[in-house]
Amino acid sequence: MTKIKPSLPDYKSPPVSEVAVAVQFSDLHGFPAPYLGDLWAAFGRDEFPNVQNQEVIAPMPGSEKERVISFVDPSCEIPRVWFLSEDQTELIQFQQDRLAFNWRRVNDKPYPRYKSVIEKFEQTLKALEKFVKLHKKPLSYDTLELIYVNIVPFDDFGGAPNIGAFLKDAVWRKERVFLPEPSKYSGSWEFELPDLNGRMFTNAYSVQNLKDGTHASRLDIVVRGQYASPFDKNMKTMLSWYNKAHEHIVCGFDDLTTPEMHEKWGKDVRAK
């Protein structure tokens, strides 16, 4: 059972749009595509009845795999496969060197909280480990990653010219002689996290809803780090990293955003 540190900043209505928990491992070379049907069964066909093929994504930035040149014919690789829940809110992503579990906000469904997401990831990873063990293809972990995507409508803080009402460190000075008010913006910050053997990456930029044309601010917070013990099959070791990454993301989000927005999201401090 996953234990979450108490007394983290918490919000009744957080602007979380998506959460992804991912792990990168050594390539499962020789993993035949027909096995994907069996893997689907291992993940749970009833819980994830929809399947889609996607393009294979590149190695995680900064990982050892990123610096290795591959001579494998891309046509021989298994695809990246999505296994989706019926309501599309939950998604398992698998390719021959990566596993990820995503929660996505669909039709304004409430965020189920980190505890629920990390437990689903743990179940999924255990299913994969059991499956590859049967086929004698042990996993060697490489890089861990936790991603939070937040979407905040411009109407909530006044749009690009008033970005300082949302992000403390992004202020547009009003006293301008020539330039008009900006209609869009983008910015990024990067922080070293020695205790996680990695870094936190934050990116803020304006986006537009293609359905209704409304504008919003998107704030991505990513924590990525090297896994210190590639062959350590103790799930507690890995989950401890994700829990610490979650603490950094929650506290970092609280640090980056303004008290006015905290009040709008219903900030509270309690055990999660």
What digits encode the pLDDT tens for the residues 160-209? 899 999 999 988 877 777 988 888 899 999 999 999 999 999 999 999 98
* Residue 50: inside a domain: yes
* Residue 167: inside a domain: yes
- pLDDT of res. 259: 96
Instruction: Work out the angle between the directed axes of helices 35-43 and 114-134 (0-180°, nearest 10).
Output: 140
Average pLDDT for the chain: 88
pLDDT at 75 over 70: no
Q: How many alpha carbons fall within 13 Å on the CB side of residue 220?
A: 16
pLDDT at 5 over 70: no
Tell me the whole-structure pTM to 2 decimals.
0.90
- pLDDT of res. 83: 98
* Residue 205: inside a domain: yes
- pLDDT of res. 210: 85
* Residue 250: inside a domain: yes
- pLDDT of res. 241: 95
- 70 — phi, psi (to 5°)? -100, 135
* Residue 3: inside a domain: no
* Residue 2: inside a domain: no
pLDDT at 270 over 80: no
Burial 69-98 (b: 16+ CB within 10 A, else e): eeeeeeeebbebbbbbbeeebbbbbbbbbb
- Kindly state the average pLDDT of the residues 112-136: 93
Split into its structural domains, the chain has a count of 1
Domain range for 173 is: 8-270
| Higher pLDDT among residues 21 and 176, named by residue | 21
* Residue 1: inside a domain: no
Q: What is the pLDDT of residues 203-244, one digit of tens each?
A: 999 999 888 899 999 999 999 999 876 556 678 889 999 999
* Residue 180: inside a domain: yes
What percentage of residues in the chain have a pLDDT greater than 90? 65
Instruction: Work out the angle between the directed axes of helices 235-256 and 114-134 (0-180°, nearest 10).
Output: 150
